[in-house]
Amino acid sequence: MNIYCKTLFLFAITLLGCNEKKVEGKAKEEVKLKGSIIKSDFGSTPDGSVDLYTIANERGMKVAITNYGGIVQSLMVPDKTGVLLDVVLGFDNIEGYLGEHPYFGAVIGRYGNRIAKGRFTIDSLDYDLATNNGPNHLHGGDKGFDKVIWTAEQSMSGEGFPQLKLRYVSADGEEGYPGQLSVEVVYTLTDDNDLRIDYTARTDKTTHVNLTNHAYFNLAGVDGDDILNHEMKLEASKYTPVDNTLIPTGALAEVADTPFDFSSFTKIAKGIDADDRQIKYGGGYDHNFVLDEPSMALPFVTVRSHESGVIMKAFTTEPGVQFYTGNFLDGTINGKGGVVYGKRSALCLETQHYPDSPNQKDFPSTLLKPGETYRSTTAYRFQVMPSL
Ligand code: BGC
């Protein structure tokens, strides 16, 4: 290459470089944060101190999340009068979350829901997990992902929505599960009033993964009435009946003509105390529904409260949802503002693979192998009833 060519070549490279920088600069200028995130101290736990991240969007909706257990501590949504209402159960401070409570607002893992007798087998190796729910394993064991401190990073989605990225590395053998599992849970608050949760995980040994969030919703506000007057429409024509320890029998049963039929808007109260064996096993609803068409485009469920005018729609990529009506809440927990959380004062819609999948060969598999990425997304969208 002569000097002339070399100069031309260098000039071209420089131009290319500049161009690249310009494109980068432009992209950064275009996307502005649509909302805000404020970090505050949330106190200390035996494993270290934790923070509370309050995320707001430009429409005024707010969510507060702590990196202890990835817990959604409050979710403020506008009601029919425009006033912000807190629609999730929880506590005002970390002390509440360190005490006994039924997973209020937490990330659940490594396996959300029950595994029969706390046992499963992978590649002829048997694994034994804690039996922390009668004879069964529930929600990841004695110290699941709801009780660990997550590393938190404030971030922004490609569209400019505020995000909180939480990361946790679960050691090989933690709570009896095989493989080191690296988990990321990203909470995003969009300007559609969606609280979107994206879960990803990777493992170095074949393991079972089923992540979810255990928010307890009361759309009339957490200091309001119970959820018996809420109405729900659920796109699930089947559910997984259970035995008396709430382990699926393996069958998929039709909801038609049973108290499990929510194919049109139905008051929760209607079937919750029905004279039905399945209802009796759960003390109300505590069952996994098989979603007809899981998708992020169409809601699988719509719940509404005429009292507040708040509507919640939820979307998911998961094949199932555990619909739990807070049957085991018994008035012994004093939550935010000292409010007593009584029986059925909230409902949970825990998106997931079906319970006990590791032992049910006909259910969609929850196995995750090295080299694969576990992905799951759920969004809860809040609106106000149009007719009000
Ligand atoms: C279970 C309930 C349990 C609740 C709190 C739900 O996912 O299905 O049976 O009481 O979590 O642990």
Cα of 103 from ligand 1 centre, angstroms? 8
> What positions carry a catalytic annotation?
214, 350
Pick the residue whose CA is nearest to atom 8 on ligand 1.
286
Q: Model confidence over 370-385: pLDDT tens digits?
A: 999 999 999 999 999 9
Pick the residue whose CA is nearest to atom 7 on ligand 1.
113
pLDDT of residue 1: 44
Q: Is 239 in the pocket of ligand 1 (CB under 6 A)?
A: no
Q: Model confidence over 168-221: pLDDT tens digits?
A: 999 999 999 999 999 999 999 999 999 999 999 999 999 999 999 999 999 999
Q: Model confidence over 5-54: pLDDT tens digits?
A: 444 444 444 434 434 344 444 555 689 999 999 999 999 999 999 999 99
Domains of the chain as residue ranges with CATH: 36-384 (2.70.98.10)
pLDDT of residue 386: 81
Q: Is 286 in the pocket of ligand 1 (CB under 6 A)?
A: yes
Percentage of the residues of the chain whose pLDDT score is greater than 70? 92
| Closest to 280 (Cα-Cα) out of 234, 242, 326, 319 | 242
